[in-house]
Structure 1
C-alpha cells in the first residue's frame, strides 16, 4: 500500500478486534459526552447573572459543533475498516479515515473557547473584542499550519515536523496572548476569586499541551498501539479543553454571580443568607 495515497496512518494500520473496538468506543464516548453537555450548559446559565450567561451559551455551541465533528469521525472509523482474517484491515477502496475534520472543528470552536475568557473575567466590551481577536488570530494560524503538517504523517517527516514547528510558534504567540488575558482576569476578579485565573492558566497549559504530543505520535511507528493512543489523546484533549473547561468557567461564574449579589446564584451554591440584599433579577 502506497503511503502517499493516504493522509493519516489509520489507513495504513491493521487493527486487532480489541483495538478497533477501543477506537470506536473512544470516539463514541467523546461525541456522546459533548452532546450530553449541551443540556448542562443551557440549564446552568439560568443561575448566572445576566451579563455572564453568554459564556455557557458559547459552551453549548462548542459542544454541538464538537459533537457533530466527532460523530463524523466515528462514522469514518467504522466505514474505513473491513473485518478480514480475524482483524480489521483498512479499506483499499472507497472510504478512508481522516482526522482533518478535527482541524476544521477546531477552527470553529477554539476562537469561541478563547472568547469565553475575557467574557468570564467581566472585562469591558472593547477589551473583550480586542483580546478575543488577538488570541484567535494565532490560534487559527496554529490550527491551519498543523493541518498542513499532518498530511505528512504517513512518512513525510520533514513536512510533519517543519509545519509542526511553525504551528508551535503560533502556539507560543497564543500563550502570550492568553497569559495577558489571564493577568487582566486577576485584576478584574473579586478578591475571593483572584487566585482562579492563575489556576486556569496552568490547566490551560496542561490540557492544550496534549495536542502536539498526539500530532507527533505517528513517528513512533505505524501500529495499532500508536493509532489508539493518538485517538485517546485527541479525545482527552477535546474533552478537557472544551467540556471540562466550560464546566470550570461556569462554576467560577456562579461563584462570581453570587458574590455580586445575584440571588439565584447564591441559592444554587446554598449561600443565599450571606448574599447582599440585591433583587433576584439584578
Structure 2
C-alpha cells in the first residue's frame, strides 16, 4: 500500500492503517500494560538493592530505577495512545478513532533518555577509572543517540515509503555497529579489571547485549512483511521484549554483579545479602555472628 508523502506523515505508523480483531487489540493492550507495569514494579527493587552495595556501586541500581520510571511513563503513554486510537465497531477495532493516531515515536523519545544511562552503567559497574569512565560513556552515547535519531526518522517510512525505511535503517545500523565496537572496548577493559571469580560476568553480558539489542532492528523492519494485525501485534511484542530485556533484566544482571563485587571487596552488607556466599559466611564468622 503506497501513500502520498502527506498521507504517510499523517498516519506515521502502520498501526493507523490496520483494523484489528478483538483478540489482536486485546493482546496489544496486554503487551503494553505488562510492559509499563513491569518497569514501574522494579523501581522499588532497584532502590532497595542499592542499600546493599558498596558506596561506589550504589549509583548502578539507582540509575536502573531512573530508567524504570522513564520507560514506565513512556510505555504508559503508548498504552493510553493505543486505547484512544482505536474504536470498536462491527466486531473489529478500527484505527484513527476521533482523529487520534498511534505512534511509536514515544519509544524513541524514551530511548534518547534511557540508552545513554544504560550504557553509562557499564563502566561504573566494572569499576573503571573516573577519566576512563567519562570517556567511554561519551564514546558509547554518541553513536547510540545517532542510531536512535536516524531510526526515528526512518521509521516514518514504514507506511509505504520503504526506501526511506531501509536507507535510514541501514544508516542507523552503521551507528549500531559503531556502538557495538565501543561497548566491546568497555567489556575488554572490564575483563582485565574484574576479579578472577567474576571475569565470566562481563563476557556473558557482552553476548546478552548482542542478543537483546538485536531485537530492535527486527521490529523496525517488520512492517515490510505486510500491513495486518499480526504484524502490528508481533512488533509491539518484540519492542516490549527488547525493552524489558535491555532495561529491566539488564539492570538486575548489573545489580547482581556489583553485589558480588561489593562482597569480594569486603563490604559486609553485600556479603550478608549473598546468603549462600562462602565470603558472606567467612565475614560473618570473623565478626563473631
Q: TM-score, normalised by structure 2?
A: 0.94
Shift of 1:275: 3.4
Quote the Cα distance in structure 2 between the aligned partners of 1:185 and 1:108: 24
Shift of 1:142: 0.1
Cross-structure match for 1:260: 265
Superposed counterparts of 1:1-282, under 5 Å: 3-4=7-8, 5-91=10-96, 93-270=98-275, 271=277, 272-275=280-283
Shift of 1:195: 1.2
Query: Does the 8 A contact of 1:135 with 1:177 survive in 2?
Result: yes
Q: How many residues align?
A: 279
| Greater displacement, 88-97 / 171-180 | 88-97
Shift of 1:93: 4.1
- The alpha-carbon distance between structure 1 residues 277 and 126, as it changes in their structure 2 partners (threshold 3 A), is farther
C-alpha distance after superposition, 1:5-57 (max 9, x if no partner) = 31100000000000000000000000000000000000011011110000000
Shift of 1:274: 2.0
Quote the Cα distance in structure 1 between the aligned partners of 2:183 and 2:220: 22
Shift of 1:156: 0.2
Quote the Cα distance in structure 2 between the aligned partners of 1:260 and 1:58: 22
Q: Any idea what SS the aligned residue of 1:89 has?
A: strand
C-alpha distance after superposition, 1:217-252 (max 9, x if no partner) = 000000000000000000000000000000000001
Query: Does the 8 A contact of 2:28 with 2:233 survive in 1?
Result: yes
| Structure 1: stretches of 5+ with no match in the other structure | none
Shift of 1:92: 5.4
Quote the Cα distance in structure 2 between the aligned partners of 1:215 and 1:150: 7
C-alpha distance after superposition, 1:105-160 (max 9, x if no partner) = 00000000000000000011111100000000000000000000000000000000
Quote the Cα distance in structure 1 between the aligned partners of 2:175 and 2:192: 26
| Structure 2: stretches of 5+ with no match in the other structure | none
C-alpha distance after superposition, 1:161-203 (max 9, x if no partner) = 0000000000000000000000000011111001111110000
Quote the Cα distance in structure 2 between the aligned partners of 1:276 and 1:35: 35
Shift of 1:91: 1.8
Quote the Cα distance in structure 2 between the aligned partners of 1:92 and 1:162: 32
Q: Any idea what SS the aligned residue of 2:256 has?
A: helix
Q: Any idea what SS the aligned residue of 2:51 has?
A: helix
Q: Any idea what SS the aligned residue of 1:47 has?
A: coil
Quote the Cα distance in structure 1 between the aligned partners of 2:259 and 2:21: 46
